[in-house]
Chain A
């Protein structure tokens, strides 16, 4: 009883499914080649380490944003949660190792709580994510200013060195953290019922609900976990800048959306993932370095970041030209 329901042969595997993240990696490689041709020292260890550190906070916040966007939501409070976590960190840190680790746990809890508030309002308040997170962004920022009205605070030197340095003097800690995050957090998540639920809810909330997926719980957990990741990003940022500042997290909101989109995650949810997003984040983070090496005025940074965003998402949409059924374009 073969060929009954479907006489046409089926393609088993198609590289086109991975087209969009591959574009992000192609863009990253291209950027690194340009960078290398402008500045021969790029692949030396200290420069490489600095590069990893520079993109780290954006990479982590972008993974958070990717998770939320996969559920067909958006989180405009990501920068504010980073800011709040950063301020909480620098106002509580002390020289000793044990108290600092306590602060790390505290900060992760603060970020998770902030995310949970978003998730609760979105899932149970049934409010649009864009409005909820716009409002909570202001609230979290306000609390951050209250916690740390003036830039400053204390960060132990060993903490900075541990996070921004190299393990055994060879491998950048940031790289290890990123790999750990991808292999031991993202991949298991994607291969868990919760991960599948995230994709299902984003792809079609009605179908997911009909299939028996707990949609509210999925959303609540997604926003909460996004908050946790923001706190993690803030802990890294704190090490990197060795200070706190109630204004320095804001850029991550929009940049994380840009990195997610460059990385090939569909803005309408259900398609994409962290692998592309990491490349997207590093594309975005490295642009200023390349410009500096090319002796272009730093004022051009935003213009070029915007241009890269437009070009990569256009390439991502280029498959449209191959589509012979015009109704498919909109899918």
Chain B
């Protein structure tokens, strides 16, 4: 019998129907995957189940009882805990304070015992296998991946019967994912029900027992994981047959002329003597474990960091990029798509159109006044080119789905006519359909002569997209893989800095 059953749930936001008579169920002792494109209603379903949204109609039955949680706290009391896509940790508090925020440990006279909280948090993190995290560190000081681990610890700590992870592993590198998966399997074997939402198909196949597919606010089909092929699943998700997932890579006779040349860049303790060339029309990947300096390299190139040493050349000319404003000037022509589009990429309450033209205001102005005509032309061009799914360019960016927000973020930089694109995990947390559109766009840009430096935490993407890949480890480039050498095995081996692949192979054969 199902532990939780949500039957015939409908939820509207204004005129948008997010859930349309959709049903979902999950069992104790099973890990259930919930997949679908962004906007398919997965997150809304989860939020209805854990009391963030109240459904317009439909019933939720949990442990045989009808429940009507009014807020997340209600759901937690019932035994439903979720790790949301939007992180729910308080940034200016420590890890321990966050974990014990609602149910603090008190000492004899009733005051919160911060030391005991920290000690118990350390024990908790250790028991979950997340031992690198300091319980006394402020959450705002932690890297994104660690925050996500803390978020998971926070949820597990509440001892739920139903644990929901909504994109709960999107910032994690493969080794951390393994730890989290071991943990989830352990919880499953203890008889907990787990719901897992992810855009990484490989993760779902590895972890989940049952897969439920959502499309356009409805549940489409549930099946035992592994009983359908990837192609069939993707078809269920997008509703039509899909062609090749990644665009064709070009075949080159010789290396292209370099557009961006980076020589011996160092910064603080994060980058050591990093040299990279990116050629015209080339997509160069940056791979490795999370936090090995890939992001720092992009930020350093974009002029975000102060005190970077080394040499950068664009089109053979030596340049000194001291700020993002300078990086984006036409004679340098850099563009950066950051990981956290909500914080660094977009101004959420502003309209789609205004966000798109943010970086080209000078160009579309006449005598210091923004020309509505030029603005409209630029925005219309981008809305069409990127197929942004929005009723109009005048609505606030925050009302779009994650994938479409990322498209707006991309549009902003496409409009600058940049020559060099720095992409920082541009497809994190967005749906398969939009991902594919972004892949196609990346290849298009490259074919038009742009140079692309591409960091991703998703190995499939690196394998599928890159002409060349540099693997980083502790702030250094430890390996360069070209063409067919870019395989998942080689990438993982290099990321762990296991030494030459040759040696590795010998070990495997031995």
**Which A residues fall within an 8 A CB radius of B?**
1-8, 10, 12-13, 17, 187-188, 191-193, 195-197, 199-200, 202-204, 206-214, 266, 270-271, 323-327, 331
Contacts and interface: CB of A to CB of B under 8 A. Distances in A.
A4 B137 contact: no
Contacts of A208: 90, 101
A1 B179 CA distance: 9
A209 B72 contact: yes
A211 B137 contact: no
Nearest to B154: A211
A203 B93 contact: yes
Interface string B138-164: 101001011001000010000000000
29 contacts: A4-B131, A4-B175, A5-B130, A5-B131, A5-B149, A7-B291, A10-B137, A12-B134, A12-B136, A13-B136, A187-B111, A188-B110, A191-B111, A196-B93, A196-B97, A196-B104, A197-B101, A199-B90, A204-B89, A204-B90, A204-B91, A207-B91, A211-B89, A211-B102, A212-B71, A212-B72, A212-B102, A213-B101, A324-B305
B196 interface: no
Nearest to A17: B138
Contacts of B88: 206-207, 210-211
Contacts of B146: 5-6
Given A4-B176, A207-B87, A211-B102, A325 B304 contact: yes
A137 to B, nearest CB: 29
Interface string B114-139: 10000000000000011111101110
Given A211-B98, A211-B102, A324 B176 contact: no
Contacts of A213: 101-102
Contacts of B72: 209-212
B267 A324 contact: yes
B304 A207 contact: no
B86 A5 contact: no
Interface of B: 52, 71-73, 76, 84, 86-93, 97-98, 101-102, 104, 110-112, 114, 129-134, 136-138, 140, 143, 145-146, 149, 154, 175-176, 179, 267-269, 289, 291, 299, 304-307, 323, 344, 474
Q: Which 10 A-B pairs have the closest CB atoms?
A: A6-B132, A210-B88, A212-B73, A203-B92, A270-B92, A191-B111, A5-B132, A191-B112, A10-B134, A200-B90
Nearest to B89: A207
Contacts of A197: 101
Nearest to B145: A5
B474 A5 contact: no
A4 B179 contact: yes
Contact of B129 (A1, A202, A209, A210): A1
- Secondary structure class of chain A's binding surface, majority of residues: loop
Contacts, number: 132
A193 B110 CA distance: 10
A7 B474 contact: yes
Nearest to B338: A327
Given A206-B86, A270-B90, A6 B112 contact: no
Contacts of A13: 136
Given A200-B93, A270-B90, A193 B102 contact: yes
A204 B93 CA distance: 10
Contacts of A192: 110-112
A210 to B, nearest CB: 4
A207 B145 contact: no
Contacts of A17: 138
Contacts of B84: 210
A191 B115 CA distance: 12
A188 B72 CA distance: 27
B91 A270 contact: yes
Given A196-B104, A209-B71, A212-B102, A2 B132 contact: yes
A202 B92 CA distance: 9
B165 to A, nearest CB: 14
A331 B97 CA distance: 20
B264 to A, nearest CB: 18
Contacts of B143: 6
Contacts of B267: 324
A1 B88 CA distance: 26
B344 A207 contact: no
Nearest to A188: B111
Contacts of B87: 207
B504 to A, nearest CB: 20
A4 B129 CA distance: 8
